[in-house]
Structure formats: C-alpha cells, structure tokens
Amino acid sequence: MSAASASLFPMFVKLDGRRCLVVGGGPIAESKIESLLAAGARVTVVSPALTEKLERLHRQGAFDWHARRFEGTDLQKAFLVVAATSDDATNDAVYREADRTGILCNAVDQPPRCHFYFPAVVQRGDLQIAISTAGRSPSLAQRLRKELEVQFGPEYSEWVKWLGEAREALMERKLAFRTRKRLLAYLARRESFARWRAAQQHKTALREAA
C-alpha cells in the first residue's frame, strides 16, 4: 500500500512531561499551544513575537520562549513539532528537518507536511471523541464535532467517571474474566446510561426541594 493511500493509525498519546516544540507565536499557533499545554506537555515556542494571549501565558510560566526565527537545532530532544507560522518557507524548513531526524511534525493547514493531524475533539471529562478527515476537510470535522457535542452532553463526564469506579470495584472482586466483561458491557449500554441519568436527576430534584 502506498503512503498516499495508507490509512491513518488513530491513537491517543500521553504527552505529559514530553518536550513539544511549536514554531510560531501568532494566532495560528495559539490553539495548538493551548492543546499541548492541556495535555501536560513541556512546550517550547520559537518565534520572534507572541500574541498578547501567548505573552500572558508565557509570563505565567506556561512555556519556554525563544524570541527568534527557527533553527534546525531547536528540534533536539523534541518529541514532536508543530509548524504554525504564516511563512511557507519556514514551515517547509521545519517539516524537512523533522522528517530527516525522525520527529513527528504537523504543519498547520498543510497536509503534505504533516506526519499527524490535530483532530476535532469532543471532550467530556475522560471521554474524548476525535474526528479526522486526514486534512481534507477541517470544516466537516468541526461540523461533526458540534453535532456530537449535542449527542454526548456534559453529563457524560460524570457517567464515564462512574463507569470507571464501577470497573475498579469489579476488578477488586476478582470475578472471572467473562463475567466481568459481561457486566461491564451491560453497564455501558445506552439503557444503563438512561437509568443512571434519571437517578442523577432525581437526586438533584430532591436536593433542590430540601
């Protein structure tokens, strides 16, 4: 299978404590830097200037900043890099150096210069639903994200937390694997969610009436 036709491999990566480089400090870079920080990454930004929002984050110690243009040595010890400048030549230089050294690179809005893509994400606590079109239509990915945000409301955050606690309790009981798997599948059903939500709403109503 050729690289052009190969399917993407979907996975969720733990970035906590890993060094991630962002080249660019303008509006294009803002959301990428924030998402990396939210994942616990150690972010280094290389850019002659920063937006006001990024300057504020830097003053708070959120990331390291080198106030200059990109240099190839900036990639040393980086786990991944995001090229987020408005300069095509700079983005190309970042991608080529990353590709040469085996570091994952994403050049924003430039699919041919990407080893990975930032998906549109629905976040409900520990529940994450990621949507990708392999860079072909970010607009479609965003539309689907909005639709899924309606389908999977904020209550899913607490339900997933409850499911995790139920799983831990079942693990402690040392049940047979098949029995535990059957019970966990039952708890994760749509009908189980409906009963759980009804119980939560009842508890809320009782508290408000007290």
User: First-to-last CA distance in the chain?
Assistant: 65
Mean pLDDT of 192-200: 95
Residue 26 tokens read as: 């303008």
Quick: pLDDT tens for 43-86: 999 999 999 999 999 999 999 999 999 999 999 999 999 999 99
Q: What DSSP designation does 72 have?
A: G
pLDDT of residue 5: 59
Listing DSSP states for 126-145 in one string gives: TEEEEE--TTS-HHHHHHHH
Quick: pLDDT tens for 139-183: 999 999 999 999 999 999 999 999 999 999 999 998 999 999 999
| CA separation for the pair 115, 34 (Å, rounded) | 20
Prediction pTM value: 0.84
Where helices occur in 49-154 by DSSP H, the ranges are 52-59, 88-101, 138-151
Quick: pLDDT tens for 99-134: 999 999 999 999 999 999 999 999 999 999 999 998
